[in-house]
Structure 1
């Protein structure tokens, strides 16, 4: 069974058709217990195999997706493509980089951007073309125009094909796109993180014809209703660092939001996960929810979730919940957006 909902990317990648739902690979390796290759491979294949002929699945990785901020995720991908070479052309690979080696601090110096792109290609070992590179965060030490200009030069050298941006403001997205067409912008979009700037980026991207890769559409699993208390999160899981998950008071308060969404999902006859992905997909023709899963069955279910069409009444009900519910805790560490380099 193939998905029905497809879209295209933006900018220089506007001719590329992808499924309306992508696949985030972060938690396959950014964990004390990485997913076994055979399990991860089946999960990736399940998503790709759901695509219609000629349509790619967007898969999202990063140079630093491991507890040591190393290239474990890319190395996993290189082993996947080595074992299943036919899948290289069936996926559109977006990779984040542009941070200091061994850490998450943004560094948009020309030397580090070249280093980052070169390191990503080295980790892939020629098994897959780097389709899109994006700086994970905006480095405030350099202008956006500088950052995109450097990346445009690397594109001309043939090191990768398309430029993306991540966790940037709408103003920065506009500035970057004026230097070189931006194919996609990656931001968090879900029912408990609908910040004013989220809406600004969505609106600007639609105006400029840029795809929005919407990460954490399930609120890092919280919106599925499967987590009942902070202790349900495994030891060593990165979510234990985030204030919404680690603070018991916030956790319990925010469960009421989940319960309200579950009511709509039950009335619709779908899971909360499918409802949340369908909602994010409804926010624009080029909005691509990016759930992550290491389970093949769940990855296939996620890929089909955008095929669920929500009525105006259902969308109005979801927006009423979002607009009337005060979520406790910020998206990351509880100390403001600057610490996580958000909306650069």
Structure 2
């Protein structure tokens, strides 16, 4: 039986699968054929019992945030979620809902966009062409020029205008999450959680979200693919450059592979895939923590959902805690030890 949970804030009555579906890979590195993408989405939704929605995470970007050690600027670069333009992911979804309109009510659409909110929201709505209303909107990062409270007041006004229904945050720190929620209920906070990324700030966000009954979307639960055990050498990282963030030096990679090997061995003992073990571990960190792996293939979507059937016992959680303690991750999520973009805003 696939596990389910409820979201938080104004979406507290929405029941979703305990694993969400990230759509980024469908358009980020070259467009996946529509039928392949559609089957990937449908397979997950079709696996759910009546009344349970699949949370889809899409996005629209025309800016990529570049972090300098001085935390200075954003600069224009290539699009994140769409090859050639930032609405490609949403345009794909519009085609999906055109072909399968009955799936609009069976999915909960979270849209993550750049920080020019009004422009981004309008562009996202236009890209969807009325096929599906945005259920939840979340800025990709908080802008340092404005307070958290200003962000929430501005965005909640757009909810009252009927632009979207619920509010989320992405890459938000614990203090900012608490401050924002005090102005308007935050339904979902999206942060990175995996065996490769489980820092003290992450734990603080988890604690605040649990206290305030806010759901968490845990993106990259596979450590950008590192915990699948399929990446054997540093050279394998060339296919997805951001994976180098945790492996800036060859010695870091070799050290981190010891941790990965321990997780792969544990998955073998439990009779699940290493990917399922990582996803199940992330989901077991809290009742409303929803792992958010990406998938562009039906078989991968079903494998990810299968993680909700992996029984993580107290002993299992203790074993993984021991592995992480014995083999602490070397390297950093982004570009330097002193930088955590969740602190923006």
For residue 272 of structure 2, what is the aligned residue in structure 1?
270
- Whether contact under 8 Å (2:219, 2:292) holds in the other structure is yes
Do residues 90 (structure 1) and 106 (structure 2) align?
yes
Structure-to-structure mapping, 1:149-188, within 5 angstroms: 149-188=153-192
- Whether contact under 8 Å (2:22, 2:293) holds in the other structure is yes
Secondary structure of the equivalent of 1:168? coil
Alpha-carbon distance in 1 for matches of 2:299, 2:336: 34
- Whether contact under 8 Å (2:280, 2:308) holds in the other structure is yes
For residue 315 of structure 1, what is the aligned residue in structure 2?
317
Secondary structure of the equivalent of 1:342? helix
**Structure 1 residues 277-306: Cα deviation after superposition (integer angstroms, max 9, x where no partner):** 110110111100001111101101211212
Which of 212, 234, 257 in structure 2 is aligned with 1:208?
A: 212
- Whether contact under 8 Å (1:239, 1:245) holds in the other structure is no
Which of 35, 47, 53 in structure 2 is aligned with 1:38?
A: 35
Do residues 25 (structure 1) and 23 (structure 2) align?
yes
Secondary structure of the equivalent of 1:21? coil
Distance change (3 Å), C-alpha of 1:315 and 1:335? closer
Which of 230, 242, 245 in structure 2 is aligned with 1:239?
A: 242
- Whether contact under 8 Å (1:330, 1:336) holds in the other structure is no
Secondary structure of the equivalent of 2:202? helix
For residue 142 of structure 1, what is the aligned residue in structure 2?
146
Unaligned stretches of 5+ in structure 2? 62-80
Count, aligned residues: 325
Distance change (3 Å), C-alpha of 1:144 and 1:63? same
Please report the TM-score for the alignment, with normalisation by the length of structure 1: 0.91
Distance change (3 Å), C-alpha of 1:247 and 1:295? farther
- Whether contact under 8 Å (1:162, 1:183) holds in the other structure is yes
Please report the TM-score for the alignment, with normalisation by the length of structure 2: 0.90
- Whether contact under 8 Å (1:58, 1:94) holds in the other structure is yes
- Whether contact under 8 Å (1:197, 1:343) holds in the other structure is no
Deviation >6 Å, runs of 4+: none
Alpha-carbon distance in 1 for matches of 2:112, 2:194: 20
Distance change (3 Å), C-alpha of 1:84 and 1:138? same
**Structure 1 residues 11-57: Cα deviation after superposition (integer angstroms, max 9, x where no partner):** 000000000000011111111x2211111111111111111111000
Secondary structure of the equivalent of 1:182? coil
Alpha-carbon distance in 2 for matches of 1:68, 1:86: 30
Give the superposed CA RMSD.
1.5
Distance change (3 Å), C-alpha of 1:82 and 1:238? farther
For residue 293 of structure 1, what is the aligned residue in structure 2?
295
- Whether contact under 8 Å (1:4, 1:307) holds in the other structure is yes
Distance change (3 Å), C-alpha of 1:335 and 1:310? closer
Alpha-carbon offset, residue 225 of structure 1: 0.2
Alpha-carbon offset, residue 115 of structure 1: 1.1
Alpha-carbon offset, residue 310 of structure 1: 1.1
Structure-to-structure mapping, 1:181-200, within 5 angstroms: 181-200=185-204
Unaligned stretches of 5+ in structure 1? 100-106
